Amino acid sequence: MESKSEIILENLKRQDLRITMWGDVARRFDLEGIQKHPPPVLVVFTSLRLTEFQERITPSTTNDTCVIIDPDIPQKQEYKKEFSKPGDKLKVIPNLSRQAIEEEAQKQTRKNKKIYSAATIVRFRTHTNWWYKGCPTCRKYLKYKEDNNQFICTEHDIQVPLPCYKLHMTIEDRENQATVVLLGN
């Protein structure tokens, strides 16, 4: 279970752009800080992953995404002028609170319930290594110890490495996309 949040931004052409925030970016997003600023509020997102989903560009956050609220950039005055017209106001769509998300995660953990999803593989990432040196017993990554030139498993001590698969793929269903990493055999 991971945190997810969506925000809709409007550009100068009054076009909406829905950004999906995941994980730490979603948890750290300062909605209360935005609500304290007088409208209009300029927010800049960096390092988004752009994909095409259902014939539209779909931006979502990555581990490198940075969110900057009310930055001091040259376009700031142009945006403030455009979005200070009568009728413009900050629209806030309620999200689940952090506490509600944590309670749901605890509930799911207690149930130990399996979740099944029907999705289609849309691409494999081929520019990464497709295998790793794994423990023959548990298939976890082995750590290389330079002092004795041996591979160590955190659970099974010294091991002879076993080549294990590491496949990166993107899957999608009718509503969203996800990146999946398959490890082991």
Tens-digit pLDDT profile for residues 112-135? 566 677 888 888 876 667 888 888
Nearest CA-CA partner of 16 in 50, 58, 53, 46: 58
Beta bridge partners of 134: 141, 162
Q: Tell me, what's the pLDDT at 96?
A: 46
Average pLDDT, integer, range 151-176: 84
The number of angstroms, rounded, from the C-alpha of 140 to the middle of its chain's C-alpha atoms is 24
Cβ atoms of 159 and 178 within 8 Å: the answer is no
Kindly indicate the confidence band of residue 20, based on its pLDDT and cuts at 50, 70 and 90: confident
d(C-alpha 66, C-alpha 46), whole Å = 5
Q: How many CB atoms lie within 10 A of CB 128?
A: 10
Nearest CA-CA partner of 41 in 30, 57, 52, 51: 30
Nearest CA-CA partner of 6 in 19, 17, 15, 16: 19
The helix (run of H) or strand (run of E) holding residue 28 is helix 23-28
Q: Tell me, what's the pLDDT at 92?
A: 57
d(C-alpha 16, C-alpha 14), whole Å = 6
pTM of the model: 0.45
- Average pLDDT over the chain reads 78
Q: Return the percentage of the chain with pLDDT > 90, whole number.
A: 0
φ and ψ of 34, to 5 deg: -65, -40
Kindly indicate the confidence band of residue 99, based on its pLDDT and cuts at 50, 70 and 90: low
Q: Tell me, what's the pLDDT at 66?
A: 87
Average pLDDT, integer, range 133-153: 84
CATH architecture of 4-111: Beta Barrel (2.40)
Average pLDDT, integer, range 126-147: 81
CATH 2.40.50.140 in the chain is located at: 4-111
Q: Dump the DSSP string for 67-109.
A: EEES---TTHHHHHHHTTSTT----------HHHHHHHHHHHH
Q: Which residue has the higher pLDDT, 141 or 96?
A: 141
Kindly indicate the confidence band of residue 155, based on its pLDDT and cuts at 50, 70 and 90: confident
